Structure 1
Amino acid sequence: MSVVIETQMLIRKPVAEVFNAFIDPEITSKFWFTSSTGQLIENKSVDWYWEKYDVTTSVLVEQMINNELIQIIWGEPKTTVDFIFEKITEQETYLRIRNYDIPLEGSALIAFIIDHTAGFTTVSDGCKAYLEYGALLNLVDDKFPPFV
Structure 2
Amino acid sequence: MFITAPKGQLSSGSDVTKCPPHLNRGGNLIAFHNTCYDVVTYDPLTWEDARVRCQTNGGRLVEIAGITTLSFLTGYLSTLDNVGTGVWIGLDDKDQEGLWRWDSGPPLKSSHWGPEQPGGFTGWLDDCALMKLDGFWYDYQCDVFYQHFSYICQYDMLK
Both proteins in one fold, TM over 0.5:
no
More strand by share: 1
TM-score, L = length of structure 1:
0.29
> Scaled by the length of structure 2, what TM-score is found?
0.28
- Greater share of helix residues, 1 or 2? 1
